[in-house]
Amino acid sequence: MPYRLDGLPERVTVYEVGPRDGLQNEKAVIPVEVKAAFIDRLADAGHTVIEATSFVHPRWVPQLADSGELLATLRRRPGIRYPVLVPNERGLDRALECGVDEVAVFASATETFANKNLNRGLDSQFEMFEPVVARALESGVKVRAYVSMVFGDPWEGPTPIEQVVRVGTRLLDLGCHELSLGDTIGVGTPGHATALIEAFPSPERLAVHFHDTYGQALANTLAALRAGVTVVDASTGGIGGCPYAESATGNLATEDLVWMLNGLGVDTGLDLGKLVATSVWLAERLGRPSPSRVVQALSKG
């Protein structure tokens, strides 16, 4: 029986990142037909947004080198969004050739991570994004923006809130419809999450993307929902991390998120049983058990 808390939305959109952010950091490289089946299972479970893949150079993310083949294989269903990540104009070209209608760009809130991840500085990184966003919008393609290291990074320590807001606002001003705030190394806490979200003028344009390094992902998500956010990134089975930040552990597990939201009476439209079955199925193909606590608990039954 659900027990609601004050200040929560009636419905939350779960932005499923398992096929992209999850698989890109797994040691196993799974076949394209398995990836397509994985995405299809997520659609069967009720997902309306599934980030399908990334058009990053295969030298950097070999796990997603088959992105074009995957999109050609994938059965795209009406009413379901299948965004892809693009790092630059070449990635956008490849995505447009595959007929995508939504892309995402990836920025950093810190100088050091911008240099390590993008080979650009905190301000010069926008030289990469501006033409990508402009061309995508001209082509009728929606653009989401990620900003990473929003609470802290391994090299610089805590990230100033005003710095995150400056980077994020600039991305929104370029025309991105949504900004996902990424706790890349999982150091955020609920009070910090609340303060960061409240520093933005429009929480309805924000999403949150928590990693569970210190076990804070669900607590941070609850704080974000109470601050006005209604879009939460999560990864089926809790797979993934960040290939450019060794201290990053797995994403918030979709099943753990849905269990909490079900208990709070917040609608997601997702079938928890099908999600758990999908994670068990995927774990067999990855050769390791799912780190999701809910998957571990329910799969034993």
Q: Quick check: 24 and 44 in contact, CB under 8 A?
A: no
Among residues 242, 252, 261, 283, the one annotated as catalytic is 242
Q: Which of 101, 87, 92 is nearest to 142 (CA)?
A: 101
- Residue 244 DSSP one-character state: T
CA 148 and chain centroid, separation: 11
CB atoms within 10 A of CB 72: 12
Is 98 annotated in the active site? no
DSSP assignment of 119-152 equals SS-TTTTHHHHHHHHHHHHHTT-EEEEEEE-SSE
Please give the distance of CA 96 from its chain centroid, rounded to a whole number.
21
Which residues, 6+ apart, have CB-to-CB distance to 123 below 8 Å?
A: none
3-state secondary structure of 208: strand
3-state class (DSSP) for residue 73: helix
What residues act catalytically?
Answer: 242
